[in-house]
């Protein structure tokens, strides 16, 4: 029933970008795996905190002995003996060289880092969904243009056939237009295939079982070339403070630094408190044993003790663990700087891509308008016999290329400008 409800949701209504992102965040397997890691780190933290608590153990044993055994007068004879023992003991760590305290701190940092990694996975899926969404918008526009052109060429073919019947054109003109119509229909088929592939890619990101019945909302998009872009330096100042990739790298560096202190703690002594209760019952086949209850009472004992362990020489193992922790800390420092540099590079690339996309969009708009005007003029000449089919097809193909580039530039510009806002912490919305 649950699986059956997924395609039904996809067929109900077109999905907005926000719908797609929210659904992907809930159902994407990579995000779910990261969420499980967070839960595991929570369990690890609870385990680390539990090391502060005392431990208790109860035990009971029964021993049977055949042959020589100890008698009541402390001599041995051939007899069968039994021994029943009960004990309850506990241990409380008092000082472990700050290992428990540092272990709890490390577990908290691990949990925070796992949470940051989860947010990083969420950011990645948001960007991937937005890219796939824009690709669908682009392919939808290309399909619309291809359909309009095929319908237009079909109408033009009918007009040429009428002119053939009137004796104004030759049969070769009809054949040439039929070839043009076939090319338009082929372009339409290719555009439909590209759209289906882009729909499949998005539904796979959403973990939907099939793209059948899936569609998206076509947003009202203004002129993205008029959006004022912030400088990459200003965007980076906002991004470095909020992006989970940087936060995770900082937490990993803090973890490595604290791990040095934990490793050094092995140089310190450890102290623990222990205590317990015990009793036993003993029988000998040749001696009358005291009653069970009386023996348990007479043999009842208690103990309490302190255990101090002072490390003196451990074969350089502690020293090497400290050195390893220090090297790991240096590596995490380098990793943090690398993450920051990568983030700045990404923002720089996104900024210059947006600048280029805006310029390309403005230029392609003019190019597409000019190509369309030239195409329409050539078409009018072609209809009255003042232009040949080759000239008409050249004008038509030039306009289709210009229109395709204009559509692509439009959505690329939209995506790049929104991506810059996303680096600053804003939602990806169109």
- pLDDT value at residue 399: 84
- For 58, 100, 291, the CA distances from 64, given in Å and listed in that order, are 21, 42, 18
Structure tokens at 234: 């200003």
- Evaluate if residue 340 carries a pLDDT over 90: yes
* Residue-wise pLDDT tens digits, 65-119: 877 666 656 676 777 778 889 999 999 888 888 888 999 999 999 999 999 999 9
- The Cα–Cα gap between 11 and 5 comes to 10
81: buried, middle or exposed (CB in 10 Å: 19+, 13-18, 0-12)? Answer: buried
Q: CA angle 57-58-61, nearest 5°?
A: 135
- The Cα–Cα gap between 187 and 148 comes to 11
**CA end-to-end span of the chain:** 33
Question: What mean pLDDT is reported for the chain?
Answer: 86
Q: How confident is the model at residue 393 (pLDDT cuts 50, 70, 90)?
A: confident
DSSP H helices in 76-98 = none
- pLDDT value at residue 116: 93
- The Cα–Cα gap between 72 and 314 comes to 48
Q: How confident is the model at residue 228 (pLDDT cuts 50, 70, 90)?
A: confident
- pLDDT value at residue 11: 52
Q: How confident is the model at residue 155 (pLDDT cuts 50, 70, 90)?
A: confident
Tally Cβ neighbours within 10 Å of residue 16.
16
* Residue 2 near residue 208 (C-beta atoms within 8 A): no
């Amino acid at each position: 029933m649950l699986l059956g409800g997924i395609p039904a949701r996809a067929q109900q209504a077109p999905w907005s970008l926000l719908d797609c992102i929210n659904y992907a965040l809930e159902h994407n397997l990579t995000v779910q795996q990261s969420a499980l890691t967070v839960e595991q780190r929570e369990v690890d933290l609870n385990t680390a905190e539990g090391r502060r608590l005392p431990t208790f153990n109860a035990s009971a044993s029964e021993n049977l002995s055949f042959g020589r055994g100890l008698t009541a007068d402390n001599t041995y004879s051939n007899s069968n003996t039994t021994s029943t023992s009960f004990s309850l003991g506990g241990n409380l760590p008092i000082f472990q060289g700050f290992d428990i305290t540092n272990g709890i701190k490390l577990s908290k940092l691990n949990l925070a880092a796992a949470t940051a990694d989860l947010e990083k996975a969420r950011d990645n899926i948001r960007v991937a969904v937005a890219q796939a969404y824009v690709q669908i918008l682009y392919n939808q526009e290309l399909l619309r243009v291809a359909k309009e052109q095929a319908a237009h060429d079909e109408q033009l073919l009918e007009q040429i056939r009428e002119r053939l019947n009137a004796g104004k054109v030759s049969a070769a003109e009809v054949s040439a237009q039929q070839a043009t119509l076939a090319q338009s229909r082929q372009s339409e088929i290719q555009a439909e295939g590209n759209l289906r592939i882009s729909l499949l890619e998005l539904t796979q990101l959403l973990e939907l079982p099939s793209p059948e019945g899936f569609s998206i909302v076509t947003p009202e998009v203004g002129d993205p070339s008029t959006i004022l872009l912030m400088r990459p330096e200003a965007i980076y100042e906002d991004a470095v403070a909020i992006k989970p990739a940087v936060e995770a790298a900082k937490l990993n560096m803090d973890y490595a630094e604290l791990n040095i202190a934990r490793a050094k703690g092995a140089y310190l002594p450890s102290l623990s408190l222990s205590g317990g209760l015990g009793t036993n019952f003993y029988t000998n086949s040749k001696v009358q044993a005291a009653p069970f209850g009386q023996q348990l009472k007479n043999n009842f004992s208690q103990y309490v003790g302190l255990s101090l362990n002072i490390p003196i020489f451990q074969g350089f193992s502690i020293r090497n663990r400290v050195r390893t922790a220090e090297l790991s800390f240096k590596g995490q420092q380098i990793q943090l700087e690398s993450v920051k540099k990568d983030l700045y590079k990404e923002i720089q690339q996104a900024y210059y891509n947006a600048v280029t996309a805006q310029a390309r969009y403005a230029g392609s708009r003019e190019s597409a308008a000019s190509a369309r005007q030239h195409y329409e003029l050539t078409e009018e000449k072609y209809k009255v016999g003042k232009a040949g089919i080759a000239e008409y097809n050249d004008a038509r193909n030039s306009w289709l290329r210009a229109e395709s580039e204009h559509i692509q530039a439009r959505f690329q510009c939209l995506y790049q400008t929104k991506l810059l806002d996303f680096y600053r912490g804003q939602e990806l919305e169109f």
